[in-house]
Amino acid sequence: GAGVSQSPRYKVAKRGQDVALRCDPISGHVSLFWYQQALGQGPEFLTYFQNEAQLDKSGLPSDRFFAERPEGSVSTLKIQRTQQEDSAVYLCASSPQEGTDYGYTFGSGTRLTVV
Amino acid sequence: DAKTTQPPSMDCAEGRAANLPCNHSTISGNEYVYWYRQIHSQGPQYIIHGLKNNETNEMASLIITEDRKSSTLILPHATLRDTAVYYCIVRVYAGNMLTFGGGTRLMVKP
């Protein structure tokens, strides 16, 4: 596709429920990033993949958060036993290869609301 | 990556130039200045970046002071569609993650 696609666009989860958020990066993009954006704040880094390898997961807030990119294209961010503090917009970004700057493209995000 | 300081909000009249300042007094010699913006309900969008020379593209101009401790993003003729949060980020060229601060909320008014 022409851009980074994220689904679902909106997700409402009951506290304790598991959720899975999907990111379809631009075809051929090697690098993929997940960010979390709380209301009124700037995005915060969660994790980074280069192809299928997860090279940095230092931003994941707890072991309830898990991300994967098994074939080096589509990525899924999974949150287990959701809590109210997990409510945020989850943004995915991709870039053509490590080491380029013009190509950082973000999706529109998934807005997660935990009730 | 060096920290940046931006005013939390600014207003600009439609059709006028919008000048968005950013302080980055601890910037290192190998760190670039990047600007992104985030329009409501969208992901951040790359605008421009530079090292020490002024840069211009179809979206904006970037003016970096000689000591590189501050910079200004200029939108020469702001439109209502430029209403967004503008983020100034400094990092090494082609580094991995972007570290966003609070940004400047620019409101372009008719």
Q: Is A21 on the interface with B (CB under 8 A)?
A: no
Q: For chain B, what percent of residues have pLDDT higher than 70?
A: 95
Q: Could you tell me which residues come within 8 angstroms of residue B94 by beta carbon, excluding any fewer than 6 positions away?
A: A98, A99, A100, A101
DSSP output for B14-76: TTS-EEEEEE-TT--TTEEEEEEEE-TTS--EEEEEESSS-EE-SS-EEEE-TTSSEEEEEET
Confidence check: pLDDT of A1 > 60: no
Residue A90 pLDDT grade (very low, low, confident, very high; cuts 50, 70, 90): very high
d(CA A78, CA A22): 9
Give Cβ neighbours of residue A10 (< 8 Å, ≥ 6 apart): A110, A111, A113
Distance, in Å, from the CA atom of A112 to the CA atom of B10, rounded to the nearest integer, reads 29
**Closest Cβ opposite residue B94 in set A41, A59, A100:** A100
pLDDT value for B16: 97
Which residues of chain B carry a pLDDT beneath 50? none
User: CB B96 to CB A93 under 8 A?
Assistant: no
Please list every residue in chain A whose beta carbon sits closer than 8 Å to the beta carbon of residue B100: 42-44
Contact B98 A45 (CB under 8 A): yes
More confident residue, A96 or A37: A37
Task: Report which residue type is found at B95.
Answer: G
Whether A96 and A29 have beta carbons less than 8 Å apart is answered as yes
User: pLDDT tens digit string along A33-75?
Assistant: 999 999 999 999 999 999 999 999 999 999 999 999 999 999 9
Across chain A, mean pLDDT equals: 93
CA-to-CA dists, residue A100 to A71, B94, B104, angstroms: 22, 5, 25
Q: In B, which residues are within 8 Å of A38 by CB distance?
A: none
Q: Provide the total of helices (H) and of strands (E) in chain A, helices listed first.
A: 0, 11
The answer to whether the CB atoms of B44 and A100 lie below 8 A apart is: no
Confidence of residue A103 (pLDDT cuts 50, 70, 90): low
Residue A19 forms beta bridges with which residues? A79
Average of per-residue pLDDT values in chain B: 93
Instruction: Band the pLDDT of A104: cuts 50, 70, 90.
Output: confident
Q: Which residues of B8-45 are buried (b: 16+ CB within 10 A; e: fewer)?
A: eebebeeeeebebebbbeebeeebbbbbbbbeeeebbe
